[in-house]
Amino acid sequence: MEHVAIAGAGSWGTALAVACRRAGRRVTLWGRDAGQMAALAGKRENPRYLPGIALDPEILISADPDALTEADACLLVVPAQVLRATLGQLAPRLKPSLPLVLCAKGIEQQSGLLMTEVAAACLPDNPLAVLSGPTFAAEVARGLPTAVTLASTDANLARTLAQAIGGRSFRPYVSDDPLGAEIGGAVKNVLAIACGIVAGRRLGDNAGAALITRGLAEMTRLCLARGGKAETMMGLAGLGDLTLSCTARQSRNFSLGLALGEGQDLDAALKASRGVVEGRFSAAAVLAMAEGLGIELPICQAVDQVVNQGTDLAATIDRLLARPFKAEGFSA
């Protein structure tokens, strides 16, 4: 795979373009906004999302979907809620044999589908993979050491993609559990909001550690119910991504929770975010998925109540703390 296309020119898409070029690939970075892409091409920088990161002159920057036609693989790095519309726009230009790598973390709110399920519905003939794990775009773009999960039911495809985009500081580990990788990527965003709330209300390090641990149990419970693997939740796409998102202010989801915990209004906190806070959308979708499977996710339910239903934060925390004592484990 010599030519890698990146669809989506936000922080993560731009960082992946930098990483793929660093790996020696020919790279096309595509975005829908012609004005934004022209500015990126002129400045060779994405000042809104990745200020200070120079874009290699060999990276082709374009708003023309035809620029993706000859790629050997396409990394889809648009927000989860616009993936379907983006695929509809790009479908006529993408070869049926072109591997698609789903890089957005979330669940389509309207349908409750994971990103691979949306892609399969829109482009049923294209092979699919999932890229997930503990990644902050700015650190990847700067070449700091990063490890990710690259998951596909096609082991050869996963290995080929890993060799194509991997390098000394960007290290993909292959997996045969794309479903588990997607569950981890979606649920961790919801739990990061909860951890931000804990930090904002100064509930202590004990509470933060407990929430991450019990959040991991919820994530694993949902993964197993959907047919994923528990070991995936113990890896980069599960525990790794959860730990990063739940402990760092770079996380948009954690930052939203932090603002709410400190008493900010939800709308004001969302406006202050530099990008899409996917956990807000995922909270409702994750909860609906769990209810359909007959399982309980009390932390995710609490986040949904706060960010989507306007429930009082203090009362929601009190209800969580008043739950009956149970045995520890994925089923509890």
Q: Is 249 annotated as a binding residue?
A: no
135 is in an annotated binding site: yes
Q: Is 49 labelled a binding residue?
A: yes
133 is in an annotated binding site: yes
**Residue 141 labelled as part of a binding site:** no
The verdict on whether residue 9 carries a ligand-binding annotation is yes
Is 105 known to sit in a ligand binding site? yes
On whether 30 is known to bind a ligand per the annotation, the reply is no
The single residue of 43, 95, 188, 271 carrying the catalytic annotation is: 188
Residue 35 in marked binding region: no
The answer to whether residue 43 is catalytic is no
262 appears as a binding residue in the annotation: no
Q: In terms of Cα–Cα distance, which of 191, 200, 312 is closest to 253?
A: 191
Question: Is 188 marked within a binding site?
Answer: yes
Residues with a catalytic annotation lie at 188
Annotated binding site for substrate: 105, 252-253
Annotated binding site for NADPH: 11-12, 32, 49, 105, 137, 252, 276, 278
Annotated binding site for sn-glycerol 3-phosphate: 105, 133, 135, 188, 241, 251-253
